[in-house]
Chains A and B, each alone.
Chain A
Amino acid sequence: MNNSVEENYKRQQNWLAYRFISPSILHYAFFFITPLFILFLYSFYHHVPGGIVDTTMSFENYKLFFGDPFYREILLRSFILGLVVTVSTLLIGYPIAYFMSISSERTKSICYVLVLAPLYTSVVVRTYGWMIILGRTGVLNKILMRLGLIDDPIQLMYTFNGVVITLVEVFLPFMILSIHSILENINKSLLFAAQNLGASKSISFLLITLPLSIPGIASGCILVFVLSIASFVSPVFIGGTGFRVIPTLIYEKAMASLNWPFGAAIAFSFLFIMVIIVHFYNRITSSERWSTVK
């Protein structure tokens, strides 16, 4: 009885909250969840070329995707692409993040501008730029030949490596920022303490800075990985029609062949594998072994 005033107040507030979030929730329900659900159903349907889709449910699309080595190879290529891009961004990006964390405010600001510059343009624009750079008669080859570093033009367009180069450029900012934000929060006095106790700069980096920055590395890696395996524009233009990864495969099947059911199955298989990877990744990275980092 004494509680009723308090409860009434709380109830009022809660209803206000529900009213405030309802437009968004409804929007998501109708244009996010429902389409995904329908897509899920479609993955079990049967594609009828030129006709209405056959809604008898079966696993045949999934069996086709996982059974055919052609598709498995594409899946593998996608994940290897993700892995290579992730590792590359990590190796290239970490030194920059480190450099930013030890430089003055002014230098840091300049670096921020430079690192964030790629985000100022659309992906399509950047990809177009790379097309010009990576061609046989493109900028890169021209420069390398003129400097005398190579004798014949390197084939980068329509290759795996070309796509990697493009994607690394696109996703480097994410990795750098991820690592940098953690590095910024490392207590500088830890390094002073280490050096005071006799460690050289390299050792204190290896034994203190590096381990403490692992959360940043971990979050940067999963971010870049997930983004790169899902990327579409670069594989299309730099990789070309012969370069198939999952996103381009889905486009091909859904838009070109209009085989929505199969496209849906590919999409959900891909999603499923991604979720598993992320889940296990999170379990490993948040396990006790890394919790010395606080």
Chain B
Amino acid sequence: MKNINLKGITKQYKSVVAVKNLNLEVKEGELFCLLGPSGCGKTTTLRMIAGFIPPTNGEIYIGDKNVTNLLPNKRDIGMVFQDYALFPHMSVANNVAFGLRMRKFDKKKIAEKVNRYLKIVGLESQKNQLPRFLSGGEQQRIAMIRAVIIEPSILLCDEPLSNLDAKLRKQMRFEIKRIQQKFGITTIFVTHDQEEALTIADRIGVMKDGAIEQSGVPEEIYNSPKNRFVADFIGISNFFKGDIITESNVCFLMISDKIKIKLGKAEENICKNEKAEIVIRPERINIIKNIEQLGSSPQGRKDNVFHGKVGRVSRLGSVIECMVEMEGCQDVIVHYHETNKNLSLKENDSVFLMWKPEDCKIIS
């Protein structure tokens, strides 16, 4: 297995810069997700690695080899396409065998290997079937196996699950992860679905307008977004903007005279700034109906406590989403699990919101 190294990759089309001076290193055996909205350059980057688009500037290394000027068929890369690109006139077995045929393997060995790999995805019974008679999920698996059977140095996936329905997508995610881990192939997986990325990636690179805004492990991306774009793109966010004030060695984000949000100790150096924006994840906010549950008085507590009025309540599966209008402030989205039976909230209920200062993440 090899690692992937992109150095200063740029792609410019006449007046549009699709990819701006991208530097990226993907470790051996890693599943790296390139995540971003449409038009952010993630697919362009992938296709440059594959060799279908020549970069305007920069170099691409697979392992120690500079592949920037190599033709696509000489790069030893496996690729899974968004529309699967299965050869419609060939049977499943012949599709999967194609790469091996091009590498001039022995016929018997090819047949044996094809059977083995089809077993891995449970499709050996379909080996003589034509692709168009297979379901979306089955086609996806064949596309994957076809790419993997040639034992390439790296694997590239271009939004391979976009054409599947929601439930199948969730199943197939794990299938892809399983195959990737089984063979330990260094993989770059392009997607616009942040839930997908968070679920299967070893590391994520969030892209916007041709550049990587932040890259890191999923927890890092989720809990410590570097800027507003990343925070907004991943998961749901509550943003607060305001002035920084200091009171008795504690930093506060002041939104108005009445609302002051206590910030955690880790963000101490932010006290030097004048203004800031923070983000809080919905599941970090607790909702309490009765103030007595708090125990001591609000002012004395270490946490942030605010009063609010419930707006709309909606159910997202097992999580309840609640929009609360914070008194004197903006609307805030709160998530809590439905097993929390003490809470049966209705519109216009009066509640208290509570969260720890450490859960406030500074994004600027």
Q: Which A residues are in CB contact (< 8 Å) with B14? A: 3, 6
Interface residue A5 (Cβ < 8 Å from any Cβ of B): yes
Majority secondary structure of chain A interface residues (helix, strand, loop or mixed): helix
17 pairs, CB–CB < 8 Å, chain A vs chain B:
A2-B10, A2-B12, A2-B56, A2-B57, A3-B12, A3-B14, A3-B56, A5-B54, A5-B55, A5-B56, A5-B57, A6-B12, A6-B13, A6-B14, A6-B54, A6-B56, A9-B54
Contacts across chains A and B counted by CB atoms under 8 Å = 17
Chain B, Cβ-Cβ closest to A5: B56
What is the CA–CA distance of A6 and B12 in the complex, to the nearest angstrom? 8
Across the A-B interface, give the 7 residue pairs with the lowest CB-CB distance, nearest first: A2-B12, A5-B56, A2-B56, A5-B54, A9-B54, A6-B56, A3-B12
What is the CA–CA distance of A5 and B19 in the complex, to the nearest angstrom? 14
| Interface positions of A (Cβ within 8 A of B) | 2-3, 5-6, 9
Q: Which A residues are in CB contact (< 8 Å) with B13? A: 6
Shortest Cβ gap from B105 to chain A (Å): 32
For chain B, the bracket of interface size reads under 10
Chain B, Cβ-Cβ closest to A3: B12
What is the CA–CA distance of A258 and B13 in the complex, to the nearest angstrom? 60
CB-contacts of B32-63 with A (<8 A): 54-57
Shortest Cβ gap from B16 to chain A (Å): 11
Q: Which B residues are in CB contact (< 8 Å) with A5? A: 54-57
Interface membership of chain B positions 1-32, coded 1 if the CB is closer than 8 angstroms to chain A and 0 otherwise: 00000000010111000000000000000000
CB-contacts of B107-141 with A (<8 A): none
Shortest Cβ gap from A149 to chain B (Å): 56
What is the CA–CA distance of A3 and B56 in the complex, to the nearest angstrom? 7
What is the CA–CA distance of A9 and B56 in the complex, to the nearest angstrom? 10
What is the CA–CA distance of A215 and B95 in the complex, to the nearest angstrom? 44
Shortest Cβ gap from B41 to chain A (Å): 15
Q: Which A residues are in CB contact (< 8 Å) with B57? A: 2, 5
Chain A, Cβ-Cβ closest to B11: A6
Q: Which B residues are in CB contact (< 8 Å) with A3? A: 12, 14, 56
Chain A, Cβ-Cβ closest to B12: A2
Shortest Cβ gap from B319 to chain A (Å): 41
Knowing that A5-B57, A6-B14, A9-B54 are A-B contacts, what are 10 other residue pairs whose CB atoms are under 8 Å apart, sorted by A's residue number?
A2-B12, A2-B56, A2-B57, A3-B14, A3-B56, A5-B54, A5-B55, A5-B56, A6-B12, A6-B56
Chain B, Cβ-Cβ closest to A8: B54
Interface membership of chain B positions 173-216, coded 1 if the CB is closer than 8 angstroms to chain A and 0 otherwise: 00000000000000000000000000000000000000000000
Q: Which A residues are in CB contact (< 8 Å) with B12? A: 2-3, 6
Point out which of B12, B13, B14, B56 has the most chain A C-beta atoms below 10 A from its C-beta: B56
Shortest Cβ gap from B360 to chain A (Å): 42
What is the CA–CA distance of A5 and B55 in the complex, to the nearest angstrom? 8
Shortest Cβ gap from A264 to chain B (Å): 48
What is the CA–CA distance of A6 and B44 in the complex, to the nearest angstrom? 14
What is the CA–CA distance of A5 and B56 in the complex, to the nearest angstrom? 6
Shortest Cβ gap from A14 to chain B (Å): 15
Q: Which A residues are in CB contact (< 8 Å) with B55? A: 5
Shortest Cβ gap from B336 to chain A (Å): 46
What is the CA–CA distance of A105 and B13 in the complex, to the nearest angstrom? 49
Q: Which B residues are in CB contact (< 8 Å) with A2? A: 10, 12, 56-57
